Every structure is written in structure tokens, then in C-alpha cells.
């Protein structure tokens, strides 16, 4: 079975969110989590879709995604935004879906367009060629003409140029369980869920709590039951993993997370 490599992109502020909210909730089936470091000159822009430099950051992300797809040709790649929290064991389900389609993505709720916040690929000649075309299509938009939300519209246009999205046989939408709250949800994506890390943290933890309530009919044990929100939007938290701890290893361009055994006490 093909290996599945998971990547997200984060600046220094979002590394804190990943460390204290995203990574501790990863299911045991996720062996590793790769984090693309944002260049220093583009740091602290995440979520600022109206900032012109933010659109430069999005181009950097698209180019990195292409580099990663080429590196993992013959394997599978899942790209996640840094404001996606995982709370379900999705690996087997996603691998089965990728047997039918080479490119799967979260769908927007009210329109038939895909969201680049959750994208899964079989990295092969076809998908690499598509992403090369998509990067070129986005890069061709003059900086001053890039609208807030860039490059969502442009990426969907690039897919449309391969034929209407409904006619692209190797593309498909992921079901609601990828990105939206529900009884059988695998992950939640905080689209428009705040512009600061504190706001994202609050939304993601609240979403996880709500999902746990929907699943179990109670608060479960993922968050402390007596949690409260302060002015800094801090919610008391503890990991529901008892046998593993997490560590982040930093490097100049990537952060690599892996599970390690908990030391005996």
C-alpha cells in the first residue's frame, strides 16, 4: 500500500497552535506530520487574506506543494491548512477513496468548488502536471490584481480548464466528514473561523468539543469538563493520549513531528 505523507504550512505563531491544539489530537494511525516553515519575510501573515503580502505567501505555498508532489511521486500526499483539527482515524478511509480518484478535496458548502485547505493526491504524472499548470495559472495573475481569497478562485479555474470539474474523472470532492462537524467527522476546517491564532484556537477546540458531544452525547474526555474561556481565549487542555507524547523537531525549512514513547516515571 502506498505511503501517505501529511503536510501543512505554518509560521511561528501557527506553530504554537499546531503544538498545543492540532498535534495532540492526531489519532495513533498518523505516524508523522510534516510542517512547511514560512519564510521569515512572510511570517505572521496567516489568515490576513486582505494583505497583499499574504498572496505572496500563497504563491510560496503553491510552489512548495509542487515540490512536495514531485518528491513523493508514486506515493500519496495530504495537504492540510494549519487550522484543520483531526479527531478521527481517517487514514484507511482516505486511502480507499484515493483508489478511485487521483485528486480529492474538501468542497465549499454552498457552491461546487473545492477548498484548498484539505487536498489529497496520488502523486503521479497527471496530478503533478495539473499542479504545474495550476501554479502557472496563479502566477500569471498580476500581484495587484490578486483578490482576497487568492488563489482559491484561480485553482478552481485551473481545474476547470481540464474540463468542467464534474467531467474530470480523476478529481472528486471529499464528503462532509472531511472539514465539517458531524457525528462521523474525521476533521474540521475553521474556514473563516477567526483571523488570529487565539481565535483559531478557540474555534478549533470548541469544534472538537461539539463533535465529541455529537458523537458521545456528552463531553467525553478530550478536554477538561470545567474549561472556561478567558480574555486570551485560553481553554485548559490535556492530551487524551496516555501512552505517547509529542515532540517537534525544527530545521531550517521544515518541522517534522513524530510520536515518541513516554519515559517511565
Beta-bridge partner residues of 114: 107
Judged by average pLDDT, the poorest of 46-55, 173-182, 185-194, 202-211 is 46-55
Q: Is residue 140 classed exposed, middle or buried when 0-12, 13-18 and 19+ CB atoms within 10 A define those classes?
A: exposed
pTM of the model: 0.79
The answer to whether residue 96 scores a pLDDT higher than 90 is yes
Beta-bridge partner residues of 147: none
Grid cell, residue 154, equals 484561480
What pLDDT does 88 receive? Answer: 84
The answer to whether residue 218 scores a pLDDT higher than 50 is no
Pairing of strands 114-122, 103-107: antiparallel
Please report, for the chain, the start and end positions of each structural domain, with discontinuous segments joined by +.
Answer: 4-261
What is the third-level CATH fold of 4-261? Spore Coat Polysaccharide Biosynthesis Protein SpsA; Chain A (3.90.550)
CA 14 vs CA 94, 125, 180, 202: distances in Å? 25, 32, 21, 13
pLDDT of 101-150, one tens digit each? 999 999 987 667 999 999 999 999 999 999 999 999 999 999 888 888 88
pLDDT of 78-92, one tens digit each? 999 999 999 889 999
Q: Which carries the bigger pLDDT value, residue 205 or residue 246?
A: 205
Q: 3-class SS at 112?
A: coil
What pLDDT does 264 receive? Answer: 38
Q: Which residue has the cell 489568515?
A: 47
pLDDT of 246-259, one tens digit each? 333 333 344 444 43
What pLDDT does 47 receive? Answer: 56
What pLDDT does 38 receive? Answer: 81
What pLDDT does 183 receive? Answer: 81
Beta-bridge partner residues of 178: 187
Mean per-residue pLDDT of the chain: 77
pLDDT of 221-255, one tens digit each? 443 333 332 222 222 222 222 223 333 333 334 44
Which percentage of the chain shows pLDDT scores above 90?
37
* Mean pLDDT to the nearest integer, 19-42: 79
Q: What is the 3-state secondary structure (H, E, C) of 21-43?
A: HHHHHCCCCCCEEEEEECCHHHC
The answer to whether residue 261 scores a pLDDT higher than 60 is no
Amino acid at each position: 500500500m502506498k505511503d501517505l505523507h501529511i503536510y501543512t504550512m505554518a509560521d511561528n505563531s501557527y506553530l504554537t497552535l499546531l503544538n498545543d491544539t492540532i498535534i495532540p489530537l492526531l489519532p495513533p494511525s498518523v505516524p508523522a506530520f510534516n510542517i512547511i516553515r514560512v519564510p521569515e519575510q512572510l511570517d505572521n501573515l496567516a489568515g490576513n487574506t486582505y494583505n497583499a503580502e499574504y498572496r505572496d505567501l500563497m504563491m510560496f505555498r503553491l510552489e512548495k506543494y509542487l515540490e512536495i508532489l514531485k518528491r513523493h511521486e508514486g506515493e500519496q500526499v495530504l495537504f492540510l491548512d494549519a487550522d484543520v483539527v483531526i479527531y478521527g482515524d481517517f487514514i484507511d478511509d482516505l486511502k480507499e477513496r484515493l483508489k478511485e480518484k487521483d485528486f480529492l478535496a474538501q468542497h465549499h458548502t454552498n457552491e461546487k468548488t473545492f477548498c484548498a485547505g484539505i487536498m489529497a493526491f496520488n502523486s503521479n504524472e497527471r496530478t503533478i502536471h495539473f499542479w504545474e499548470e495550476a501554479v502557472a495559472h496563479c502566477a500569471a495573475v498580476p500581484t495587484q490584481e490578486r483578490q482576497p481569497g487568492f488563489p482559491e478562485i484561480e485553482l478552481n479555474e485551473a481545474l476547470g480548464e481540464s474540463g468542467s470539474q464534474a467531467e474530470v474523472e480523476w478529481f472528486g470532492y471529499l464528503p462532509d466528514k472531511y472539514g465539517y462537524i458531524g457525528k462521523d467527522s474525521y476533521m474540521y476546517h475553521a474556514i473563516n473561523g477567526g483571523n488570529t491564532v487565539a481565535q483559531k484556537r478557540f474555534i478549533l477546540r470548541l469544534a472538537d468539543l461539539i463533535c465529541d458531544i455529537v458523537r458521545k452525547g456528552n463531553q467525553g474526555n478530550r478536554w477538561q469538563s470545567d474549561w472556561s474561556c478567558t480574555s486570551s481565549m485560553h481553554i485548559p487542555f490535556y492530551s487524551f493520549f496516555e501512552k505517547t507524547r509529542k515532540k517537534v523537531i525544527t530545521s531550517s525549512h521544515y518541522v517534522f513531528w513524530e510520536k515518541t514513547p513516554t519515559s517511565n516515571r
